[in-house]
């Protein structure tokens, strides 16, 4: 079982269980209410006038400027829509996991900070909200701070998010000084060399928040160790704000940029999608799998943005607009299925204490509702028809396939390669999700904890059912989100057009390209075919001899044991072999011989571990370098107060000389 935090607030909580229940209910409902307010405000901004507010006294020098335009409104709706079910879910989850008071307080603040980011109308406000969001999320990640892994993950995450913040800070400061304005509405054109600097800095900063390769490493560490509602909020809402930053700053304010921007976005997106899905398909920790799947989906969205930029520059405005719609629609779909996935994983974690797929299994019987809901999430993540992610991925592929190249070499090369990347990503994500669902929930329990599982609390199930309904609506009738997406896409210069690029209806048509698909009809046909097959089977079964009940075939042995089943590791082993060069697994076999004879074996130990190869290659040298530098700097810190006072005086002197 998971160890429960026994710090001071928790002990207090144990003495007053009633008060803690009230605290959980208050934190959950506050989160849900703030989320509902975000949805309402976002919808007002998308469909109505853009509300603008300026509070001068709140922040020194610049004041707080709030301006919610349709694009910010779209993200506000998205974050609010994730926060409402997560708030409901937290009521049951926090009670079960005995959250300390600090986490309960910070959760609503985290949602508010995220909403503030979407509503920020000036650079200082944006940076302030961004930093508030980052700090709140770090505090939430260390909820379970008694475990060393949680502390290490939180430290790693804090360092990466602050480095990303530095990149964004420098980029936006360069931008603001070169334009001489800090309100988004008053921005003009940035001069050329500085524009590229701003682009690279902001893409690095926002990309690290969005979990794009190679700045994705914090995702796979922080998401598994954070409490599940926090993982859901971070993965479905906070990470999308990285994409919001890229759209807002790089595509809207300083864009649309030159062609290499588009190619860079496409490359980074494709690398993230492929690397993320590959790591997801070999992961054995269900939350780590979902975290890598986030990298994969953010990669797809970045690819769609890059494609939109590339195609609009290459004279294919219809395809560019479709790619932009695909990006926003996939953001919505990802928010729905990923928050559901993390909540379902959290439901399993609360019931069994397990995250390791190799020890799960057989949960379909004791936890039927969670199993079905995780299935809905997994289907969405697969990008297959009837899943939430299907329509958006189809739109992206359509934009890439039908883009008229008109002799443009870059487009002619990039579009087919991008289609290949999307196809490979989708195929591998099917493998990853079949593994997560099949190994985790079906078959027989692989451990005592999985055998003793019980269905989760009603509030958690209710929250998950709400999100699952959202997933189904996005999968079968994306027309529900059409209006919001269309208004938001109109803000993007790569997709601005008089007529809507995608005609959402029962049959989705692409007026510019001539493609069409009907997910609702597909689903109806599928259900009809299934019913017909069942009826036909029943009818044929009349002529067969009567059925007999026999034990499962176990190759003549008495019974099958759970150890004979496929595990997540063995399921992914063929894939791991194929992609050996990318994944670089570390496996070793120890053979212990009998003391009497070398020919007799007493034990064989096999270990297989897949670490993130990029993390080791890229981060380890940096960490080692920083440590070495710290060793050098340490000599200046000898603990003497006199010396420190001298440093202070010297510093003041230097400042005075410079500012003279």
Partner 1 sequence: MIGWLRKALRVGRIVEPAPPAPFAAPAAIDALRGSMQIRHVDAGSCNGCEIEISGAFGPVYDAERFGARLVASPRHADALLVTGVVTRNMEEPLRNTAAATPAPRVVIACGDCALNRGVFADAYGVVGSVGEVLDSVDVEIAGCPPTPEAIIAALRSVTRR
CB of 300 to partner 1, least distance (A): 40
Q: Return the number of other C-beta atoms located less than 10 Å from residue 198's C-beta.
A: 25
The DSSP symbol for 3 reads P
Based on CB atoms, which residue is closest to partner 1, 191 or 556?
Answer: 556
Q: For 2, which DSSP code?
A: P
Q: Rounded to 5 degrees, what are φ and ψ at 356?
A: -85, 115
60 or 556: whose CB is closer to partner 1?
Answer: 556
Nearer to partner 1, 148 or 555 (CB): 555
Q: What count of Cα atoms within 13 Å lies in the side-chain half-sphere of residue 238? A: 32
User: Does the CA dihedral 631-632-633-638 come out positive or negative?
Assistant: positive
* Three-state SS sequence of 592-607: EECCCCCCCEEEEEEE
Closest approach, Cβ 263 to partner 1, in A, equals 42
Minimum distance of partner 1 from residue 551's CB (angstroms) = 8
Q: Which two structure tokens, joined as six digits, stand for 290?
A: 């979902």
CB-wise, 537 or 659, nearer to partner 1?
537
CB of 424 to partner 1, least distance (A): 28
Comparing CB distances to partner 1, the nearer of 3 and 547 is 547
d(CA 301, CA 59) in angstroms, rounded, equals 34
C-beta closer to partner 1: residue 148 or 550: 550
Residue 528 or 554: which CB sits closer to partner 1? 554
Joined together, the tokens standing for residue 591 give: 């053979």
Phi, psi of 606 (to 5 degrees): -120, 130
SS3 609: strand
Q: How do strand 515-517 and strand 586-593 relate by DSSP bridges?
A: unpaired
Q: Which is nearer to partner 1, 557 or 604 (CB)?
A: 557
Helix, strand, coil shares of the chain, percent, nearest 5, are 70, 5, 25
Residue 604 exposed, middle or buried by CB count within 10 Å (0-12, 13-18, 19+): exposed
> Nearer Cβ to partner 1, position 57 or 553?
553
Q: How far is the CB of 561 from partner 1 (least distance, A)?
A: 16
Q: How far is the CB of 336 from partner 1 (least distance, A)?
A: 41
Give the number of other CB atoms < 10 A from CB of residue 194: 16
Give min distance, CB of 541 to partner 1, in A: 14
Shortest separation between residue 601's beta carbon and partner 1, angstroms:
23
Give the whole-angstrom CA distance, residue 125 versus residue 62.
8
The H-or-E segment that residue 172 falls in is helix 148-179
Measure the CA–CA gap between 392 and 525, rounded to whole angstroms.
21
Upper half-sphere CA count for residue 33 (Cβ side, 13 Å): 8
In the bound state with partner 1, the residue whose beta carbon lies nearer, of 540 and 660, is: 540
Place of tokens 């919610």: 68
CB of 553 to partner 1, least distance (A): 5
Which residue's CB is nearer to partner 1, number 555 or number 604? Answer: 555
Q: Specify the residue, 555 or 641, whose C-beta has the smaller distance to partner 1.
A: 555
Between 193 and 556, CB nearer to partner 1: 556
Provide the binding-site residues for partner 1, judged by CB under 8 A. 545, 550, 553-558
Alpha helices in 477-594 (DSSP H): 479-489, 519-541, 568-578, 580-583
Instruction: Return the closest-CA partner of residue 261 out of 205, 203, 212.
Output: 203
Please state the closest distance from residue 556 (CB atom) to partner 1, in A.
Answer: 3
CB of 490 to partner 1, least distance (A): 59
Contact 27, 105 (CB under 8 A): yes
Q: Radius of gyration (Cα) for the chain, nearest Å? A: 26
Cβ atoms of 100 and 150 within 8 Å: the answer is no
- For the CB of residue 7, give the shortest distance to partner 1 in the complex, in Å: 56
- Residue 343 near residue 232 (C-beta atoms within 8 A): yes
Smallest distance, partner 1 to C-beta of residue 560, A: 12
């Amino acid at each position: 079982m998971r160890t429960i935090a026994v710090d001071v607030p928790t002990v207090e909580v144990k003495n007053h269980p009633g008060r803690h229940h009230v605290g959980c209910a208050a934190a959950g409902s506050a989160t849900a209410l703030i989320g509902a307010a975000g949805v309402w405000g976002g919808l007002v901004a998308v469909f109505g006038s853009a509300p603008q507010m300026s509070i001068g006294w709140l922040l020194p020098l610049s004041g707080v400027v709030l301006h919610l335009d349709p694009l910010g409104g779209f993200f506000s709706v998205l974050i609010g829509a994730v926060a409402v079910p997560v708030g409901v879910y937290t009521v049951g989850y926090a009670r079960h996991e005995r959250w300390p008071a600090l986490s309960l307080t910070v959760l609503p603040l985290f949602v508010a900070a995220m909403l503030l980011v979407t509503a920020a109308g000036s650079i200082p406000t944006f940076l302030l909200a961004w930093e508030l969001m980052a700090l709140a999320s770090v505090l939430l990640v260390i909820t379970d701070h008694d475990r060393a892994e949680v502390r290490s993950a939180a430290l790693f995450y804090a360092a990466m998010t602050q480095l990303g913040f530095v990149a964004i800070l420098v980029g936006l400061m360069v931008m603001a000084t070169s334009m001489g304005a800090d309100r988004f509405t008053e921005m003009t054109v940035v001069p050329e060399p500085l524009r590229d600097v701003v682009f690279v800095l902001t893409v690095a900063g926002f990309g690290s928040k969005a979990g794009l390769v190679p700045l994705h490493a914090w995702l796979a560490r922080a998401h598994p160790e954070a409490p599940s509602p926090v993982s859901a909020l971070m993965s479905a809402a906070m990470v999308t704000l990285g994409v919001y930053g890229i759209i807002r700053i790089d595509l809207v304010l300083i864009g649309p940029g030159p062609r290499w921007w588009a190619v860079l976005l496409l490359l980074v997106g494709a690398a993230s999608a492929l690397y993320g899905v590959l790591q997801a398909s070999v992961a054995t920790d269900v939350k780590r799998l979902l975290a890598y799947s986030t990298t994969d989906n953010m990669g797809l969205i970045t690819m769609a943005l890059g494609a939109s930029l590339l195609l609009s520059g290459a004279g294919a405005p219809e395809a560019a607009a479709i790619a932009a719609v695909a990006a926003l629609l996939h953001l919505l779909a990802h928010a729905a299925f990923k928050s559901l996935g993390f909540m379902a994983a959290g439901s399993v974690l609360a019931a069994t204490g397990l995250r390791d797929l190799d020890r799960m299994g057989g949960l379909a019987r004791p936890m039927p509702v969670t199993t079905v809901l995780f299935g809905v999430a997994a289907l969405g993540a697969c990008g297959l028809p009837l899943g939430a992610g299907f329509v958006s991925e189809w739109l992206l592929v359509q934009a890439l396939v039908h883009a008229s190249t008109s002799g443009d070499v870059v487009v002619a090369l990039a579009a087919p390669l991008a289609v290949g990347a999307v196809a490979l990503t989708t195929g591998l994500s099917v493998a990853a999700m079949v593994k997560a669902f099949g190994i985790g929930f079906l078959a027989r329990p692989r451990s005592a904890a999985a055998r003793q599982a019980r269905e989760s609390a009603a509030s958690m199930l209710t929250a998950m059912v709400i999100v699952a309904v959202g997933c189904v609506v996005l999968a079968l009738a994306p027309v529900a989100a059409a209006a919001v997406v269309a208004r938001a896409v109109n803000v993007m210069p790569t997709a601005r057009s008089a007529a809507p690029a995608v005609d959402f209806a029962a049959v989705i048509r692409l007026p510019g390209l001539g493609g069409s698909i009907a997910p609702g009809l597909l689903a109806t046909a599928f259900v009809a075919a299934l019913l017909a097959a069942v009826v036909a089977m029943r009818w044929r079964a009349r002529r067969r001899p009567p059925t007999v009940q026999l034990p499962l075939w176990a190759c003549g042995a008495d019974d099958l044991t759970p150890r004979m089943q496929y595990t997540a590791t063995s399921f992914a082993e063929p894939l791991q072999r194929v992609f050996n060069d990318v994944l670089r697994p570390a496996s070793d076999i120890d053979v212990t011989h009998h003391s009497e004879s070398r020919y007799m074996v007493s034990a064989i130990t096999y270990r297989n571990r897949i670490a993130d190869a990029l993390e080791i290659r890229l981060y380890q040298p940096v960490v080692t370098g920083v440590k070495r530098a710290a060793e050098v700097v340490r000599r200046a810190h000898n603990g003497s107060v006199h010396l420190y006072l001298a440093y202070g005086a010297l510093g003041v002197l230097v400042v005075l000389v410079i500012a003279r």
